[in-house]
Each structure stands twice: as C-alpha cells, then as structure tokens.
Amino acid sequence: MRYKLIISYDGTNYSGWQVQKNAPSIQSLIQNALQTVLRHPLNLTGSGRTDAGVHAKGQTAHFDTDIHFEPYRLRGSLNSLLPADIRIVDILPVAADFHARYSASGKVYHYHLHLDPISDPFTKLYCHQVFGSFDLEKLKKGAGYFIGTHDFISFANVKDEPQKDTTRTIKRLDIIEQKGGVRLEFEGNGFLYKMVRNITGLLLDIGAGRVQIEEIPQIFEARDRRKAGTAAPAQGLFLYEVKY
C-alpha cells in the first residue's frame, strides 16, 4: 500500500527538507520514525525540497509498506517520536501510482513581511522584517508582472541544470494585509529552486526604491539570475499547500 503524509514543520532548526549527510533534516527524522514504528526499511519521498529555515504548513510525502495499520494510530506514534516542531497532520491511503512530487498539479507558498518599524519578538522567526522607507503600493504593482506564464530562469538558482525547462505559470500573487505587515500568496503550477524567495527579493528592492518597476521586463529578458538581486531570507517563507 502507498500512503500520503501531510506534514507541518518549523524549519528554524533544520538544514531543510532533504536528507543531508552532516545536518538534521525533516525528511530523515520522519523516515527514521516511520522505520522505527513499522519496523522495516523504507524511503520517504517528498513533494519537493524546502531550504534551511523555510517552514511548511502543508508539505506532502509518500511511502510504501505492507504493514497494516490504523492511520490515526500511526500518526500518534510518529508525533510522539518526532520533535515538537515537526508534526504529521494526516496520513491517507492513495493509489499505487500516486507520487508526492510528480502527481502534484500545483503549489501554494506564503511569504510574510513585517512592515512595522518595531519588530515582533513572537513572529521574528516566521517573517522578514523590513526596515527603512518602503512603498507597499510599488510592491503590489510590481507583483502583477509575475502573474501568467513566463520563463523564470532569471529568478531561479538552476545554473547546475542548464537543460531544465524554466517556464512556469503563476496563477495568482496576492498581497494580503495582516497584523504588522503583509503576506504574499503565490499559487502556481510549479516553482523552480528558490524562485519564490528570488521574486520576493526583487519586490523588496522595488518597494525600497532600489529597482524601478519598469526594469522587471528587462530582468526577464536577460535570463540572468544576477540581474534579479538578492533572495529574500528563508524564515519568511512557508510551503502552504501542495495541490493534486
């Protein structure tokens, strides 16, 4: 049988989702917990990697087992073994051909910006604090340039994969006001490595007046990651949902 996990985690203390040789990762901790409970080796496959410091509300993964179990009991057992900053939200049986990564039809990411000049000690691990003069209306206007189907190679760290298809479709990029700042909601059919953080970084430069909105088409046309500025910090980013 194949099962899908829905996972929530605080990425602050981890090297990211993917297994690393010399650093703790979310994938390795969950995989080890599964092997402890089910008592056999297995591979846990995620919908995609998240970087060190990035969080998730709805990461998904799948695994195979011949062991019969009640999903809610396994969920309880796994959560009792896992650190408090990693939680299995649900376990669901799926078809044998389901794949956490390749069956996905889209993803939703949220990026949190704190715009109040006084930082909040209770949210600082989960948002990016913006200091200095900042024009939110410019950020909102700039966000519209990213909606639709584009070649996003200027906004992705893909130099080691020169043959990779870098065309993606962003269905929406909504700017939602919330206490102390805003939340950028990205929904698309897929995202390249660091694409959300790189787009957000450029929008931060636009809001701060370091880059003009009119430069965005030129950055797309350049097909050069170096033209798009610095990536936004990891702690503001959440993988909110994987769609199937």
- Euclidean distance between CA atoms 9 and 186, whole angstroms: 19
Does the annotation count 135 as an active-site position? no
User: 2: helix, coil or strand?
Assistant: strand
- Find out whether 184 and 128 touch, Cβ atoms under 8 Å: no
User: 210: helix, coil or strand?
Assistant: coil
Helix residue ranges, H only, the chain: 26-38, 71-81, 136-143, 195-207, 216-222
CA distances 25 to 20, 44, 140, 239, Å, are 6, 12, 35, 16
Single out the catalytic residue among 10, 51, 85, 97: 51
Tell me the residue type at 205.
Answer: D
Enumerate the β-bridge partners of residue 243.
106
Paired tokens of 38 = 């089910």
Instruction: Report DSSP state, residue 12.
Output: G
Instruction: Report DSSP state, residue 51.
Output: B
Cβ-based neighbours of 148, under 8 Å, separated by 6 or more:
169, 170
- Tell me whether strands 86-94 and 2-9 are parallel, antiparallel or unpaired: antiparallel
Catalytically annotated residues: 51
